[in-house]
Structure 1
Amino acid sequence: MLIVTHCFTSCRSVFFGLIGLSVARLTTTLQTQRQVAMNVPMVTESDGWTVYLSREWEVLGPFPIHAREQHFLSPSFPLNLSEPIDLDRTWPSSYVDGGSVGWSKACAGKDGLIEVSYPAVRWASLRATEGWAALQHHSVLRSTLIVHPPSRSHSLSEPQLLVNLFQGSFFTILPSPDAVGEAVIPEWHAGNIYALGKAPPNALKLPHPPSLDSPTTYQIVVSGDYEIRLFGDPRSILGTEVPKLSVTLAVDVQDSASTVIRDESHDVVGDFVGGWAFGNAVGIGLRSLGSWWTVTGATVSTGISENLTVSLLEKQRIGPTQTRVIPVVLIQTSPVYLDELEIILRLESGDAESEVFVTIPLLHHPQWSADSVPAGGIKATFFYGTSMPSAFLVLPPEEPRNVPLPPILALHGAGVDIFHSDRFWIKALPRQQHSWLIAPAGRTEWGLDWHGSSTQDAWSAVEALCDILASREEWNRWSLAPKTKVLVMGHSNGGQGAWYVAARYPDRVVGVVPAAAYIKSQAYVPWVQSRSAHYVDPSLRAILDSSLTPDDNDLFLSNLAATPILAIHGGNDDNVPVWHTRALISTLKTWNPHANVTFREDSEERHWYPDVFKNDEVAAFVSSTLSGQDAGASIRTFTLTVAVPSDSGSLHGWSIYRLGIPGRLGRLTVNINPDGISVETSNIGAFSYRPESLPKDVKNAPFLVDGQRIELDEATWDQPNFSLALVQEKGVWTPHALFDVATTSLTGRISNLLSSTSPITIVVPNRLPSPESSAALRIAHNLNVYHKLDVGIIDADEADRAVRDGSLASGNLVVLSYGKLRGFAASLLSKSATPFGVDGTTLRLRSRSLTAPSTGVLFLHPHPTNPEALALVIYGTDVSGLERALRLFPIRTGVTVPDWIVVGSQADARGTGGVQSAGVWGNDWSWNEAMSAF
């Protein structure tokens, strides 16, 4: 039995779980967002084309699934959409009495809201043994679209659909079941599963052209996946044991016009303080409706101000349906007090030229002081990754200080838009007397859970503030120290992020205040209901799961054994259970029973409460930590733990640069005493240390590494900022100058691709409509929605020329191909830089040719021109294989894809049980037998 309700308020209030807002306030915020973005009628019209979305839905489910497993399973599981859908058939499901489920009916509300629950399932019984894991489930939703052609007085160009899917994972448009012709391979588009703001719609072509004389019917299929992190615990949110899936779907139609339009939601502009921009980066959101456009220049409107000009940071090409944020640099010669900024952008498309006139409102503040500061902080801007306009919030200290104190880096919870009109997050933090408060965006409201690119964003915000304060003489006395350390603070997902950032970069952190933090995704909701687990080889599963190791905060607590920590948790937290913080502290004290860690458990409080950070205990801890009172004596015994060396910093001056077997943890244990320095390594290939960081009483003491005595030149001890590297070569540790050590490996998992030093470039065979072009635009769309990462798309000829003349963009690269390997993809692989290669036009992994139908392949590869960047090859033996590979592109945390993976059609029903082989590269891109399933 399936019940559909229309309780509008309950739909989004479940986001309360990880964002630290009141249910009432959050519901109001999301209702407003939906009214703006989603409140459209079921019939929409554009240039004569009309689309009708049926409010009647067929629903199939529930099926057990663990978080992110839907990226391996077919989004239409258990259906095979290449076959007609049988509405009378049943499918096995372990959640229902009798063990099988069939189709039920549902009806969408006028605003497109579809709410699905299964009250006949004995959820309380399942939960009694499986906990929250039993509530996670998958459903398939199916309805119809009818497209009516325009009258003859209108354009008869083929329309495209604009689809907004909130809190659904994937959707596809298919021909009518009655359509005659070849079976269509579903083209899956990712939904906005986190309901992120500032997200452009999915723009897509219909699977076949609609009739110009009569209505044409299509099917729409949605993958609906209930995750606790998205919808919350129904017992506490809805007062029931029955989980409720809530997705919202809106469909619009527009002509495929050769036009560029504004997307104001993507604009980035900082506040002005005393007439000066707090950061010179400006971003302007543009979307192309149907052709390739290049932005070639930017100027301010005539007569605005002779004291302010702008320039285009670099040319930007926008693909059909793509949204990009155009980077513009502000140049000021004196203060300005304009209410708005008017900019003209120049564009070209072939022989066509155009101009876009942009008006951006400006917000002004007076110079801050001890008694005067904007309640919602100051919005600052910078160019993330060299050219991506980005913003963050800051709260100035009450007083400047001759010797700057470390700032507080405050990480928000999941779903929090720090720039929302009420600027809730910055207001929840206590202003400091001498320290800046820095609230980074983390790319988006969820980002990458403060891992990878979100961590980069946080550190970039710190560096940007340092640069901004140095840019004006009147701000200099409020400046930060170069390469300043920070105190990390965060709530919920941000609390988890505080543990993460501090444990990966311990020498850059003076203290940590994590509140309501969870340990890691697998601990938040266990994977005991995994469908894949019934099929996958455990040794293969271990290799796949190694891609999650870098995110497992409990494994890296040795790095914080001497760091001052005040951990906070509500004792009645029904979103992130309090045992998470208790377990983290217990683990930390196993490493160091005398660890400087304090646990504040507020027994009656739930997930968020107003004084979580604004209380005397937090104030005292922060004050003493920032002033250095908790620094303690020199640390003489410690263990540094690393999973991916390129994502890790030093501990007490010691760094790990290379692992013995990549994919496994590496640990370096150091014991320093007057009798000598003893180092024990576990899975370490190369490490370094700074002699000047060692206590003076061991200057001439013996230095042992794994029992081997290392003879050092005494002069190295007195060199400032000098680091000495030791490399294991054939079982012997050999000293090297640090610059002689090979570049730290960037590999370990495919999600490393998201940590790009500049915009990601996607290479397609050509810019004509094709499966690869569609894939490129979908990747670009997903990176925009989930991470606000910029993407440029070029064709294979452009890529070849750029490699030859050295002009290829320095950021990470994605190469798309299917079928026979030709052009740029073939030339890249012909160099045999990894065990993947090309045999004629066939992809080969070592001695095996990959030719089986419906096979998808993803693997990291050296960037052709930049040794500090990555390339990712996404390949399908055919179009269905390419589609399967695309779903594994890790736009979210928790998707288990290591450095390379080969997946076949069995994954549609068996999840990771359909993975044919996978692995982690060895050092220097070599074959890693210990971490490969082949």
Structure 2
Amino acid sequence: MTPLNKWPRQSNLFSFSSTWYVLGPFQIGTREATWGADPLESIGGFRNLAYDPQASFRSSLPTNGSAKWNITEALQVSSSSTTANASLSVGYSNVDWDFLRIVYGWAAVQYQAWARGELIIGGNETQHVTLRTDTILEFWVDDQHYFGGDFFAFRRAPPVLHLSPGSHKIDLRLARDVRAFGGTLEPTVDFVIAVEKTSGTLELAKSGILMSDVVDGRLASPIGSISLRNSGEQDIELIEIRASHVSFLFSSSGLDTGHQVIAHGDIEILTNKKTSHPSFAGTASGIILVAGQTRPVTCNIELRDQNASAVAYIITYRTINDTDTSTLQVSQDLKHTSIHRPHKMTFLHPGGMVSYAMLRPPAKNATCRSSVSKLPVLLALHGAGLEADDSMVTGALDPVADLCAWVLFPTGVTPWSADDWHNWGYADVEAAINAIPAWIKNVGWEGLDVDSDRWIVSGHSNGGQGTWYALTHRPDKIVAAAPVSGYASIQKYVPFELWQPTDPRRTAIVSASLNSYRHEMLMANVNGIPIQQQHGAIDDNVPAYNSRFLAQQLYLAGANSSYNEVPQQNHWWDTVMTTPELVHFYYTQARNDDKLPRRLDEFGIVVGDPGDMGSKGGIKVLQLNDPGQYGKVDVKGHVIRTTNIKSLLFDPWLWKDTITINGNQVDPSDFVAQVDVGLTSTQEESSKLQRCGRQLGSMTAVLRTRGPFVIQHANTTGASRLALQISRNLHQYFYADATIQCSLSDQTVTHTTGNIITLALGDTLLGQLQDFPVHVGSSTCSVVDSQGNRQEYGSQARGAAFLRPADGERLELVLWGADEEGLRQAARIVPMLTGVGQPDFVVFGESAKWRGIEGVLAMGFFDWKWDVTASSVVETGMVSF
């Protein structure tokens, strides 16, 4: 670095520079950073540039079209013997943001830049530290690249670094995103970077235990979770957990018999080798945390003393291949509350880790109809950045405490509901609903039962958007819905403008990858469901246009809806969820006795992703002919017409008589209620490997795992680091669990049920299907296009990411690189942030690093038989037949 750097005047072990060198700004579109699209990569990348105040770089944003270096002082720098941090605010006065915003809207105040600083490590020994990167997605430490960061400042899984004494260069890619930073504020990028000394061995990634509240002396649920991190340089195996008077061994005894309680006492460890919902999904003798990994450890808690104020345990562990053991202590204060107040209830997410929801059972004074034995569930979905146990969330429905319903406040796993209440987040919602019967048993509930298949859905902001998702994707379970201040779709909230110039066919593929979340296209699905919309008239966070627009679409679709726009109210106010209109709606719909699924004489179904979509009117779309396009079903009585539909499933209770599909008479009972409406013969279909169920959808379908992810990688340092990075990102953004294995053998994953992520270099990928359309080799990748021609890309292909089928309706996401740099490029698009739009397969060329999706050689979708669709883009390479 240059002498311009300034250091805090203190002799501490860790110190960040107070002066940073910033280069920018450059344009970037909504969520485009995942695809690369960094113009500096065309000249070797920011990491290879030295500070030069005279240098200039072409950019579309600043005056004169020129971006330059500037020097920025940190707002605050602090240092100590165990921590150091620096906070900065980067902005650009040489850009006419106001005028750009008039033309392009909020998309105009999104941009990217780079910042360089230094971290000094004092002393004479290597230091083990975690690096916190609030609001940063991508960075380099010395010559090591990291992608994922901590864009929403969750602080769950920071990378663990082992740094020698001296100076370490820190390069940060700054990506301003309206969803994270806001659209009406000054367009600055505000970030915090911090290091904290670690133990260099096993430690708590988060203090305490994720566990249920104690309601009237009983645990609401016995399931708990401890978040652990291996901050050392060797892999660690957990041996036992013990309370003050009991031990709990992770032995191999009984592991193949389903859930097995290994010991008795205050805490019991659950193992389930068959279902991959284990507490410990490593070797038979325990769970493995590879060096640098963070994992949630599931346990079963038993409350011995109803009046206990806290619980405490000791975890025993050892490094792999070592007989010496060490211990770690963990404790948790207990929250005691009344059974009728909102309280925390834990349960297992389908991904195999513990999640929680806040539950409010029906009140004692609820006056419900005497003929009713079961009450519906009122789902209240929180907005972005909020925890479900926040009083702002749970207290919002206090004015309707005597409602005849089970009120459930799901988390969606994270404060950002994992993925905007979509795939991973909505699986959490359904798991929470299905956990209520177990809660009834746990606490000895004697009140009215729950009807888990009848939902009233409401939510605010991002939760309002989640309400639209529920309406359009689970219509046969929705009694009624009240979306409040929600946005219509990701693209309507912040337009996808200012991406790098791209062939519209490529743009269409990214857009089609998000078809399932474009709610304005799915309004036909909500016909017959009572809907009460609400929005503040002067909302400057989610513009009221979103609700007005959807109200119009509901009207055009013939839906049963009301729209209430509240004058002089912004995005949030104290009674936003209990206005007179909403209170009336809640009480009215809690008494709604419509039989579900509703029998409708005339209705339509629009499907973007059958893997996400439930049934409508007793009809479920199982497969599309081309998943890059919407599928449509139009029903009039017993006459059905379809577009882009491969197969349908009929509810035998609603569909018993002969029906006509596209002019052909069909008896659903002859097909065990499943009807293929495509033109291919039954014989041809039976010979094909079919894609169905949880395998359907774009690359985000890999999130439909049943059990912890299995990440397997080639035996190289670079592949190992990327496997750890993917595990860290999955935990950071989804709180997901993953096992990491240094092997590419099919045999290593046969005992699990989780989806697989495989990192392969060159010709190391095993088990390639002979007829599969994507094939990778030592230094090449090929794709069979929709015409049956195999396009060979040779050295043009630097990396690839593609789905392929695994047993038991599982998916494998293959990440391939011709070298480690190409593998890094492929690993960027593992699902993490919403709105990125990852299709089923992508083959990266070198220029994708700066041209984004325009630098992709092939991208698109696989159809129901795993063939490349005609809507895909497959550039011409060397053609083989």
TM-score range, shorter chain: 0.7 to 0.9
Give 1:261-280 correspondences, 5 Å limit.
261-265=203-207, 267-280=209-222
Matched, 1:363 2:307: no
CA shift for structure 1 position 601: 0.3
Matched, 1:475 2:445: yes
Is the 1:540–1:933 contact (alpha carbons within 8 Å) kept by the matching residues of 2? no
1:670 paired residue number: 635
AA aligned to 1:310 is E
Provide the secondary structure at the position in 1 that maps to 2:420: coil
**Per-residue Cα deviation, 1:630-681 (whole angstroms, up to 9, x for no partner):** 7798421001111211111001111111111222111111111xxxx11000
CA shift for structure 1 position 854: 7.3
Matched, 1:172 2:119: no
Number of residue-to-residue matches in the alignment: 811
Is the 2:692–2:864 contact (alpha carbons within 8 Å) kept by the matching residues of 1? no
Q: Provide the rounded CA distance (Å) in 1 between the counterparts of 2:265 and 2:119.
A: 54
Is the 1:408–1:438 contact (alpha carbons within 8 Å) kept by the matching residues of 2? yes
Matched, 1:518 2:487: yes
Is the 1:486–1:508 contact (alpha carbons within 8 Å) kept by the matching residues of 2? yes
Q: Provide the rounded CA distance (Å) in 2 between the counterparts of 1:512 and 1:635.
A: 18
Is the 1:342–1:357 contact (alpha carbons within 8 Å) kept by the matching residues of 2? no
CA shift for structure 1 position 583: 0.6
CA shift for structure 1 position 147: 3.2
CA shift for structure 1 position 801: 3.6
Q: Provide the rounded CA distance (Å) in 1 between the counterparts of 2:70 and 2:202.
A: 42
1:603 paired residue number: 567
Is the 1:856–1:882 contact (alpha carbons within 8 Å) kept by the matching residues of 2? yes
Matched, 1:761 2:702: no
The structure 2 residue matched to 1:773, chosen from 704, 720, 731, is: 720
1:509 paired residue number: 478
Provide the secondary structure at the position in 2 that maps to 1:409: strand
**Per-residue Cα deviation, 1:708-741 (whole angstroms, up to 9, x for no partner):** 222566xx8xxxxx9611113536899x99xx99
**Per-residue Cα deviation, 1:847-874 (whole angstroms, up to 9, x for no partner):** 34454277121001112xx332111111
AA aligned to 1:200 is A
2:24 paired residue number: 61
Matched, 1:705 2:705: no
Is the 1:169–1:190 contact (alpha carbons within 8 Å) kept by the matching residues of 2? yes
CA shift for structure 1 position 303: 7.4
Matched, 1:248 2:212: no
2:94 paired residue number: 120
Q: Provide the rounded CA distance (Å) in 2 between the counterparts of 1:397 and 1:524.
A: 36
Cα pair distance change 1:70/1:712, threshold 3 Å: closer
Greater Cα shift, 67-76 or 380-389: 67-76
AA aligned to 1:514 is P
1:22 paired residue number: none
Is the 2:131–2:160 contact (alpha carbons within 8 Å) kept by the matching residues of 1? yes
CA shift for structure 1 position 381: 0.6
Cα pair distance change 1:276/1:142, threshold 3 Å: same
**Per-residue Cα deviation, 1:567-590 (whole angstroms, up to 9, x for no partner):** 110000011110100111111211
The structure 2 residue matched to 1:398, chosen from 363, 379, 386, is: 363
Is the 2:532–2:585 contact (alpha carbons within 8 Å) kept by the matching residues of 1? yes
AA aligned to 2:812 is A
2:106 paired residue number: 132
Q: Provide the rounded CA distance (Å) in 1 between the counterparts of 2:130 and 2:436.
A: 38
CA shift for structure 1 position 560: 0.4
1:188 paired residue number: 146
Is the 1:397–1:436 contact (alpha carbons within 8 Å) kept by the matching residues of 2? yes
Is the 1:43–1:51 contact (alpha carbons within 8 Å) kept by the matching residues of 2? no
2:846 paired residue number: 905
Q: Provide the rounded CA distance (Å) in 2 between the counterparts of 1:850 and 1:393.
A: 52
Q: Provide the rounded CA distance (Å) in 2 between the counterparts of 1:840 and 1:76.
A: 29
Q: Provide the rounded CA distance (Å) in 1 between the counterparts of 2:38 and 2:64.
A: 24
Q: Provide the rounded CA distance (Å) in 1 between the counterparts of 2:563 and 2:587.
A: 17
Matched, 1:656 2:621: yes
Matched, 1:443 2:409: no
1:221 paired residue number: 171
1:7 paired residue number: none
Cα pair distance change 1:919/1:94, threshold 3 Å: same
Is the 2:352–2:706 contact (alpha carbons within 8 Å) kept by the matching residues of 1? no
Provide the secondary structure at the position in 2 that maps to 1:324: strand
**Per-residue Cα deviation, 1:436-465 (whole angstroms, up to 9, x for no partner):** 111111111111011110000011111112
**Per-residue Cα deviation, 1:522-543 (whole angstroms, up to 9, x for no partner):** 111112222x2x2x22112212
Matched, 1:317 2:288: yes
The structure 1 residue matched to 2:227, chosen from 271, 281, 285, is: 285
Q: Provide the rounded CA distance (Å) in 2 between the counterparts of 1:731 and 1:134.
A: 48
Is the 2:780–2:794 contact (alpha carbons within 8 Å) kept by the matching residues of 1? yes
2:541 paired residue number: 575
1:855 paired residue number: 798
Matched, 1:744 2:693: yes
AA aligned to 2:730 is L
AA aligned to 1:814 is I
1:382 paired residue number: 347
Q: Provide the rounded CA distance (Å) in 1 between the counterparts of 2:123 and 2:243.
A: 42
2:878 paired residue number: none
AA aligned to 1:390 is S
The structure 1 residue matched to 2:553, chosen from 577, 587, 598, is: 587
Matched, 1:108 2:74: yes
2:242 paired residue number: 299
Q: Provide the rounded CA distance (Å) in 2 between the counterparts of 1:853 and 1:144.
A: 36
The structure 1 residue matched to 2:830, chosen from 868, 871, 889, is: 889
1:613 paired residue number: 577
1:29 paired residue number: none
Cα pair distance change 1:839/1:120, threshold 3 Å: closer
Provide the secondary structure at the position in 2 that maps to 1:680: strand
2:759 paired residue number: 816
**Per-residue Cα deviation, 1:382-435 (whole angstroms, up to 9, x for no partner):** 121263121111122213765111111111111112234xx3201112434321
The structure 2 residue matched to 1:555, chosen from 506, 511, 521, is: 521
Give 1:833-852 correspondences, 5 Å limit.
834-839=772-777, 843-846=781-784, 847-852=790-795
Greater Cα shift, 637-646 or 919-928: 919-928
1:497 paired residue number: 466
CA shift for structure 1 position 477: 2.9
The structure 2 residue matched to 1:682, chosen from 629, 643, 658, is: 643
Is the 2:774–2:781 contact (alpha carbons within 8 Å) kept by the matching residues of 1? yes
1:25 paired residue number: none
Provide the secondary structure at the position in 1 that maps to 2:180: helix
Provide the secondary structure at the position in 2 that maps to 1:126: helix
CA shift for structure 1 position 624: 1.7
Is the 1:563–1:596 contact (alpha carbons within 8 Å) kept by the matching residues of 2? yes
Is the 1:564–1:630 contact (alpha carbons within 8 Å) kept by the matching residues of 2? no
Is the 2:218–2:442 contact (alpha carbons within 8 Å) kept by the matching residues of 1? no
Q: Provide the rounded CA distance (Å) in 1 between the counterparts of 2:704 and 2:208.
A: 21
Cα pair distance change 1:879/1:44, threshold 3 Å: farther
CA shift for structure 1 position 267: 3.0
| Structure 1 unaligned spans of 5+ | 1-39, 151-155, 175-183, 717-721
Cα pair distance change 1:838/1:123, threshold 3 Å: closer
2:250 paired residue number: none
AA aligned to 1:77 is L
Matched, 1:832 2:758: no
Percent identical across equivalent pairs? Answer: 26
Is the 1:270–1:279 contact (alpha carbons within 8 Å) kept by the matching residues of 2? yes
Matched, 1:923 2:864: yes
**Per-residue Cα deviation, 1:344-370 (whole angstroms, up to 9, x for no partner):** 3332322234353434334343553xx
1:28 paired residue number: none
CA shift for structure 1 position 75: 5.5
Cα pair distance change 1:838/1:295, threshold 3 Å: same
1:18 paired residue number: none
AA aligned to 1:926 is D
Q: Provide the rounded CA distance (Å) in 1 between the counterparts of 2:681 and 2:773.
A: 28
Is the 2:489–2:519 contact (alpha carbons within 8 Å) kept by the matching residues of 1? yes
AA aligned to 1:92 is R
| Structure 2 unaligned spans of 5+ | 1-6, 78-85, 248-262, 272-278, 281-286, 785-789, 876-881
